[in-house]
Structure 1
């Protein structure tokens, strides 16, 4: 009987320690990485890069802090208290979602009320340096992220010429097996009719359906991207379009 009790107690201790280890494992395999040099945000889930989004960051380099932080609160349609604009109002500059980041020294005692990843009512600012320190996203993109990013995951903000693959490896995000080298970039020229992994990378970067086939939807998205970036609108993803896409 005593032996049975000891075995049961040891089993319970093991279960407790396994639950205690889960946050650390989650922190390694789920993360948000923001690169101010390219104004892109990458979301990693289960150690794998899921999507890369364009963002807007601070008007000056010092406005958006750099370092390792935590996602500490999530709010749907957060009001804009400064101007007393309710959440969901088209005039609200915080857009559809708020993901608050714990940054030491903010007025909310690191509560995630000052710095955050949020939507915007000014979509033309995405891709530029326009904010007072927060990270802006298109509303459809921040809703996607809000639904998937768990509280307390790490948020890395940097200014770097490195790829997200390299940054993730440096931060220990999915570094064992799950980060695929070259995931977010490719070197070949793509056009209508192309197929394969490079097309999937292109489609992820354009935030459209991913099927690995360069069809009408991808052609339309590429031409739209080229037009918005002052490129020749030919629907061919060559060196200049790749450079605009990945800021190489």
Structure 2
């Protein structure tokens, strides 16, 4: 009888340990990665890249911290306390949602109330270096992220020429490059470019994906740029990439 009790106790202890480690394993598969070099934010869920968004970061590189941080709070329509502007007010620069990041250092930064990913009342700033340190998103994008990102997931901020696939592998948050049914790329493409990134571009433009940036791809890119109010130069740089992958 005593032996049976011991075995039962050990079984309960082992089961409890399994439940304890499960959240940590899940958290490693969900993450936000922000690349200041091209002002893009990627959201990973279940180890898979779900979506890439254009963002705005600090006016100076030093204003938006780099490293591994943690998402610690989420607020709908957060007030702008500095100017006493209520949440939801069109004048509020924090937009529709706030996702606070724990940044170790000076007092208060660990609360998630100093640095955050948030919406904006200045959408023209997205894609530029404009903030005092926070990461700005279009309101529709930050609402999408708010509804899916859980608290306590890692937030990686970097300045890198690497793709999100490479960064995710480095941070061990997933190795897949599928984004809601398509892939993504970070390099600039133009007439004469070749390779897998061109295939991704061609798939996104719904044309034959042969991996060669020729006349047909050039026409499709210019048509897309014109439809988005961009300069129709046929070069797929940061602004065109943002428009391609911000849906």
Fold similarity call, TM over 0.5: yes
Q: Does 1:23 align with 2:20?
A: no
Residue 47 of structure 1, CA deviation: 0.3
Looking at structure 1, the residues matched to 134 and 238 of structure 2 have their Cα atoms a distance apart, in angstroms, of: 26
Q: Counterparts of 1:112 and 1:104 in 2: how far apart (Å)?
A: 10
CA distance in 2, matches of 1:220, 1:86: 41
1:97 corresponds to which residue?
A: 97
Q: Deviations over 1:33-85 (max 9, x none)?
A: 00000000000000000000000000000000000000000000000000000
In structure 2, the partner of 1:136 is 136
C-alpha distance in structure 1 between counterparts of 2:117 and 2:227, whole Å: 25
Matches within 5 A, 1:114-133: 114-133=114-133
Aligned to 2:4: 4
**Residues 180 and 124 of structure 1, relative CA distance in 2, 3 Å threshold:** closer
Change (3 A) 1:76 1:193: closer
Aligned length: 217
Q: TM-score, normalised by structure 1?
A: 0.79
Output one character per residue of 1:111-142: Cα deviation in whole Å (capped at 9) or x when no partner: 00000000000000000000000000000000
CA contact (8 A) 2:58 2:64 kept: yes
Structure 1 vs Structure 2 CA RMSD: 2.7
Instruction: Report the alpha carbon displacement of residue 97 of structure 1 after superposing the two structures with TM.
Output: 0.4
Deviations 1:205-246 (A, max 9, x none): xxxxxxxxxxxxx99865433x23x224xxxxx6x1366444
Aligned match of 1:206: none
Contact 2:99–2:118, Cα closer than 8 Å, also in 1? yes
**Contact 2:70–2:152 (CA under 8 A) maintained in structure 1:** yes
Q: Larger deviation: 5-14 or 63-72?
A: 5-14
Aligned partners of 2:166 and 2:89: how far apart in 1? 40
* SS of residue matched to 2:63: coil
Residues 37 and 23 of structure 1: is their aligned pair in 2 closer, same or farther, counting only changes over 3 Å? same
What is the rounded CA distance, in whole Å, between the counterparts of 1:71 and 1:3 in structure 2?
Answer: 45
**Matching residue of 1:224:** 227
Q: CA deviation at 1:179?
A: 5.0
Deviating above 6 A after TM superposition, structure 1's stretches of 4 or more consecutive aligned residues are 218-221
1:231–1:241 CA contact under 8 A, matched in 2? no
Alignment partners' CA distance in 2, 1:169 and 1:131: 29
Ranges in structure 2 where 5+ consecutive residues have no aligned partner: 186-196, 212-220, 243-247
8 Å Cα contact 2:177/2:184 also seen in 1: no
Q: Secondary structure at the match of 2:91?
A: coil
Q: 1:187: which partner in 2? A: 198
User: Aligned partners of 2:177, 2:15: CA distance in 1, in Å?
Assistant: 29
Paired with 1:110 and 1:17, the residues of 2 have a C-alpha distance of: 28
CA distance in 2, matches of 1:192, 1:152: 36
1 CA distance for matches of 2:32 and 2:142?
Answer: 12
* Structure 1: runs of 5+ lacking an equivalent: 199-217, 233-237
* 1:19-98 equivalence runs, <5 A: 19-98=19-98
Alpha-carbon distance between aligned partners in 1 of 2:107 and 2:151, rounded to the nearest angstrom: 20
